[in-house]
Amino acid sequence: MSGAPYIRVGFLGFGTVGSGAYRMLEDNREAIARKVGAEIEVVRIGVRDEAKKRCASPSLLTTDLGSVVDHREIDVIVEAMGGLDPAGELIERALRRGKHVVTANKELIARRGAELVGLAARQGLDLHYEAAVGGGIPLIQPIKHQLAGNDILRMAGILNGTTNLILSRMTDEGEPLETVLAEAQGKGYAEADPSSDVDGHDVQFKLAILSSVAFGKAVRPEQIYREGIRGIEQADIAYAKTLGYVIKLLGIVEAVEGGSILGRVHPTLLPKAHPLAAVGGVYNALCLRGDFVGDVTFMGRGAGGEATGSAVVGDLIDVCRNMRIGGSGDAAPFSGEANARPIEELTSAYYVRVVVPDRPLVLGAIATIFGRRNVSLSAMEMRVIDTKLNHGEIAFLTHRCLEADLRQAVEELRHAPEVLRVCNWIRVETL
């Protein structure tokens, strides 16, 4: 687009996400310039190792990240390096220097979003973070804009590509967690420390961000209950299948009475007919319920350079359009802190798997323990697992009950003479 003005951009980080965004800017340069009414020019790229081979000219690279945020001609900073610091310090410095910011950093936004969004708003600048949640799926902007008139009642989603790939392949191919995790790392899906994916921290960060945007109050990650997928065994996957379910790592948040929220991240048994049950591989999806709009489902690739690069570039285009009309489109700071309820107050159905001696009265004793805690059973699968020792395994499904009651029942089962081992217990989502 000859004669069009230039908007100059600096990148902090040029790994999976940074290079994905850069390639999109290069490949779709003309169309993007037409849509923005200006050329987007990347003038500096901050990295750790200048010697690495990249898809951008070596002349753009620097290891001096401060020089990127301080660069006089740069209007917008794209942060795709990850971690709390130096990323946080650099974003703050960029905002104080009057530069708009686009970031993919979910940990930083989950922990310091309220403060940084507030700073951006006071500075009259944009701070966009669409890529931080759900990879290429537009989630933040629709919730912040088109759905903003609704009271959000509930959100439930598959929000981590790595663990969804792992659980899908454990289910479909019987592959072990470690093998699929190595593949996810090779494809650039996993976090720098993959325990963030496997232990549920990544979803906790994403759910904190989504909740803050949806409920308009800052939700800290620690206000969201968290479990990862390390405890899921092939036996759980097999029983779930027999009972008509699949196991997914979900992030779920609900508005509860009195203006509080209850947020949680954990493996979940999903009925096969549930809209999230068929979301496999690296795909993510979010089911949202608003008081006026009703149920809305978003789905798409949740990780990887191209999908996430698309979200970064979308944010960048939005910033550039706002710059062209001289206004910030993002000023939506959170008002105060959310009040969160503990997981013990959850009402849910549950799956419980135990190993027992295969002899009379065992089943009755277990049913009595559940019954004493107001937990009513809805289904059961059993099999002999050791004919020599005469050991059997039973998988129970319960009706909906209070989590505090279920936990007490499980604790009692652990000490009951009729139970050799409580192998696992998992929450069950109903339709």
Active site (catalytic) residues:
206
The CA R_g of the chain, rounded to the nearest whole Å, is 24
HEC readout, 378-414:
EEEEEEEEECCCCEEEEEEEECCEEHHHHHHHHHHHH
Q: Is 15 part of any known ligand binding site?
A: yes
Taking the C-alpha atoms of residue 396 and residue 400, their distance in angstroms, rounded to an integer, is 13
276 contacts ligand HSE (rule: CB under 6 A): no
Output the CA angle 189-181-245, nearest 5 degrees.
100
Tell me the closest approach of the beta carbon of residue 396 to ligand NAP, in angstroms. Answer: 38
**Residue type (1 letter), 64:** D
Tell me the closest approach of the beta carbon of residue 106 to ligand NAP, in angstroms. Answer: 5
Query: Is the separation of the CB atoms in 131 and 106 below 8 Å?
Result: no
52 contacts ligand NAP (rule: CB under 6 A): yes
Closer residue to ligand NAP (CB): 106 or 169: 106
Kindly tell me the burial class for residue 2, based on how many C-beta atoms sit within 10 Å of its own C-beta (0-12, 13-18, 19 or more): exposed
80 contacts ligand NAP (rule: CB under 6 A): yes
What would the x/- binding string for ligand NAP be over residues 304 to 343, using CB under 6 A? x---x-----------------------------------
280 contacts ligand NAP (rule: CB under 6 A): no
H-only helix segments in 173-292:
177-186, 195-198, 201-215, 234-243
Query: Is the separation of the CB atoms in 305 and 188 below 8 Å?
Result: yes
What would the x/- binding string for ligand HSE be over residues 239 to 258, using CB under 6 A? --------------------
Q: What is the largest CA-CA distance in the chain?
A: 86
- Judged by CB under 6 A, the chain residues 186 through 205 that form the site for ligand HSE are 189-191, 197, 202
Q: Is 191 part of any known ligand binding site?
A: yes
Neighbouring residues of 331: CB distance < 8 A, sequence distance ≥ 6: 120, 121, 124
Cβ–Cβ contacts within 10 Å for residue 372, how many? 12
Tell me the closest approach of the beta carbon of residue 6 to ligand NAP, in angstroms. Answer: 24
Closer residue to ligand HSE (CB): 223 or 284: 284
Q: Is 18 part of any known ligand binding site?
A: yes
User: Cα separations (Å) of 168 from 281, 286, 304?
Assistant: 6, 17, 17
Task: Work out what residue 199 binds among ligand HSE, ligand NAP, none; the CB cut-off runs from 5 to 8 Å by kind.
Answer: none
Closer residue to ligand HSE (CB): 4 or 84: 84
Give the range of 139-147, 160-168, 232-240, 271-279 binding ligand HSE by CB under 6 A.
Answer: 160-168
Give how far the C-alpha of residue 200 lies from the chain's centroid of Cα atoms, to the nearest Å.
Answer: 8
Q: Is 79 part of any known ligand binding site?
A: no
Q: Is 348 part of any known ligand binding site?
A: no
Closer residue to ligand NAP (CB): 83 or 142: 83
Cis bond before residue 221 (omega within 30° of 0): no
Tell which one of 103, 162, 223, 398 touches ligand HSE (CB under 6 A).
Answer: 162
Q: Is 14 part of any known ligand binding site?
A: yes
Closer residue to ligand NAP (CB): 82 or 392: 82
User: Cα separations (Å) of 326 from 56, 124, 125, 174, 210?
Assistant: 30, 10, 10, 55, 28
What would the x/- binding string for ligand NAP be over residues 15 to 34, using CB under 6 A? xxxx----------------
Closer residue to ligand HSE (CB): 268 or 348: 268
284 contacts ligand NAP (rule: CB under 6 A): no
Report the residue closest to ligand NAP, judged by CB. Answer: 15
Task: Work out what residue 52 binds among ligand HSE, ligand NAP, none; the CB cut-off runs from 5 to 8 Å by kind.
Answer: ligand NAP
User: Cα separations (Å) of 233 from 167, 247, 266?
Assistant: 10, 10, 14
Q: Where does this chain bind ligand HSE (CB under 6 A)?
A: 135, 160-162, 189-191, 197, 202, 302-303
- Which residues define the annotated binding site for NADP(+)? 12-19
Residues that bind ligand NAP (CB under 6 A): 13-18, 46-49, 52, 65, 80-82, 86, 104-106, 131-132, 135, 188-189, 191-192, 303-304, 308
